[in-house]
């Protein structure tokens, strides 16, 4: 299926209801990428709960399998599975991050991470599952080491952002941490050696072709050599780095601005996610979901991206999160202020 031939549609497979307030974030369980494992994802909400959803392989319909409640006392803003899907971390406005373990089908809160002064906005695991990062309204990013017995030890508090930190995300293959903020920047944190201190090695700001307003979200392509960021300035930006150099131990290689996607959104872009086959999804305050792909026009002036399709009124309110399924490359989930989650499939028009 050639993506740029047109005739594509984003078809709604199912609308999932259950949350009683806005749904902030979604996370697919990476273990469910295997062919013989049912697909599972978590969602978190302003209703202080996390819901676990599972697809029935026989009917292909989705059901809520568990509600994780009575732990967080305020909005749950972000959720993330450990790399092998054993643990789920949930970050809340109650200033804590909870760690849940699936014990025989029941989710138990096995650890509570405290330390942020106020709202925790985002949580992310590194590729090996040995480190966890959190960030919050207190302008800090915390790095936690995962210890035996579901213990977590804060090994460093990273300071550098001048405002609320909206999101943290580890690089998909290397221990490099990215944070984006209300201060309009993305900061890149890295440690020269395994036991060394983490420091900010690069700031992607307005002076370096960065954003001019709050940066809400970022995502990597499958290879990890490109990064997409989205902002309140109504643009998405693509960045590129020489990851081969970094993987070979030759020091840090900076991220360079490749191109800016502007003119496609007229309201804040809250979420971006890159599929394994190179399709970027965006969720925005205009209630729409858009898909973008790299243009194959072979132009000399470097990389460019184009709109593949726009799904108007994907939701009744803001789209807060878009996430591609790791196992099935054409499946997308979206979460909204309207309290619902939708499962979409990208296919060709009949």
SS (H, E, C) the chain: CCHHHCCEEEEEEEEECCCCCCEEEEEECHHHHCCCCCCEEEEEECCCCEEEEEECCCCCCEEEEEEECCCCCCCEEEEEECCCCCEEEEEECCCEEEEEEEECCEEEEEEEEECCCCCEEEEEECCCCCEEEEEECCCEEEEEEEEHHHEEEEEEEEECCCCCEEEEEECCCCCEEEEEECCCCEEEEEECCCCCCEEEEEEECHHHCCCCCCEEEEEECCCCCEEEEEECCCCEEEEECCHHHHHCCCCCCCCEEEEEECCCCCCCEEEEEECCCCCEEEEECCCCEEEEEECCCCCCCCCCEEEEEEECCCCCCCEEEEEECCCCCCEEEEEECCCCEEEEEEEECC
Residue 284 lies in a domain: yes
For 64, counting Cβ atoms within 10 Å of its Cβ (0-12 exposed, 13-18 middle, 19+ buried), the class is: middle
97-117 residue pLDDT tens: 999 999 888 999 999 999 999
Average pLDDT of 83-89? Answer: 95
139-157 residue pLDDT tens: 999 999 999 999 999 999 9
Residue 16 lies in a domain: yes
pLDDT of res. 300: 55
Residue 2 lies in a domain: no
Question: Which domain, by its residues, includes 256?
Answer: 8-348
| pLDDT over threshold 90, residue 222 | yes
Cα separation of 319 and 129, whole Å? 29
Residue 25 lies in a domain: yes
156-207 residue pLDDT tens: 999 999 999 999 999 999 999 999 999 999 999 999 876 779 999 999 999 9
pLDDT of res. 3: 63
Please tell me which residue, 303 or 225, carries the higher pLDDT value. 225
Residue 3 lies in a domain: no
Considering only 59-73, 178-192, 295-309, which range has the smallest mean pLDDT? 295-309
Number of domains present in the structure of the chain: 1
pLDDT of res. 32: 81
Q: Which two tokens stand for residue 257?
A: 């601005």
| pLDDT over threshold 80, residue 296 | no
Q: By the 8 A CB rule, do 187 and 179 touch?
A: yes
Average pLDDT of 292-300? Answer: 76
265-290 residue pLDDT tens: 999 999 999 999 999 999 999 999 99
CATH number at residue 282: 2.130.10.10
pLDDT of res. 176: 96
Residue 1 lies in a domain: no
pLDDT of res. 104: 83
Q: Which residues pair with 55 in a beta bridge?
A: 62
User: Model confidence at 61, in pLDDT bands (50, 70, 90)?
Assistant: very high
Residue 277 lies in a domain: yes
pLDDT of res. 216: 98
Q: By the 8 A CB rule, do 122 and 113 touch?
A: no
User: Model confidence at 1, in pLDDT bands (50, 70, 90)?
Assistant: very low
């Amino acid at each position: 299926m050639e993506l740029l031939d047109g005739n594509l549609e984003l078809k709604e497979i199912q609308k999932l209801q259950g949350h009683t307030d806005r749904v902030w974030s979604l996370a697919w369980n990476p273990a469910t990428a295997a062919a013989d494992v049912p697909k599972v994802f978590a969602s978190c909400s302003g209703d202080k709960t996390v819901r676990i959803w599972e697809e029935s392989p026989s009917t292909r319909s989705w059901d809520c399998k568990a509600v994780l409640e009575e732990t967080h006392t305020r909005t749950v803003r972000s959720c993330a599975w450990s790399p092998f899907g054993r643990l789920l971390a949930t970050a809340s406005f109650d200033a804590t991050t909870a760690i849940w373990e699936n014990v025989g089908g029941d989710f138990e809160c096995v650890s509570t991470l405290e330390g942020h002064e106020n709202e925790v906005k985002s949580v992310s695991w590194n590729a090996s599952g040995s480190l966890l990062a959190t960030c919050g309204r207190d302008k800090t990013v915390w790095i936690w080491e995962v210890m035996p017995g579901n213990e977590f030890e804060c090994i460093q508090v990273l300071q550098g952002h001048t405002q609320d930190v909206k999101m943290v995300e580890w690089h998909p293959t290397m221990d490099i941490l990215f944070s984006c903020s209300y201060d309009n920047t993305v900061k890149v944190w890295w440690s020269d050696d395994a036991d060394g201190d983490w420091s900010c090695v690069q700031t992607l700001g307005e002076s370096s072709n960065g954003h001019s307003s709050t940066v809400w979200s970022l995502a990597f392509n499958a290879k990890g050599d490109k990064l997409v960021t989205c902002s309140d300035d109504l643009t998405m930006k693509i960045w590129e780095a020489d990851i081969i150099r970094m993987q070979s131990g030759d020091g840090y290689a900076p991220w360079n601005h490749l191109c800016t996607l502007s003119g496609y959104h007229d309201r804040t872009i809250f979420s971006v996610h890159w599929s394994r086959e190179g399709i970027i999804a965006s969720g925005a305050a205009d209630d729409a979901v858009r898909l973008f792909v790299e243009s194959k026009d072979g132009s000399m002036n470097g990389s460019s991206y184009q709109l593949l399709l726009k799904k108007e009124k994907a939701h009744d309110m803001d789209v807060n999160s878009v996430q591609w399924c790791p196992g099935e490359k054409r499946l997308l989930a979206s979460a909204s202020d309207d309290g619902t989650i939708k499962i979409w499939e990208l296919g060709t028009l009949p």
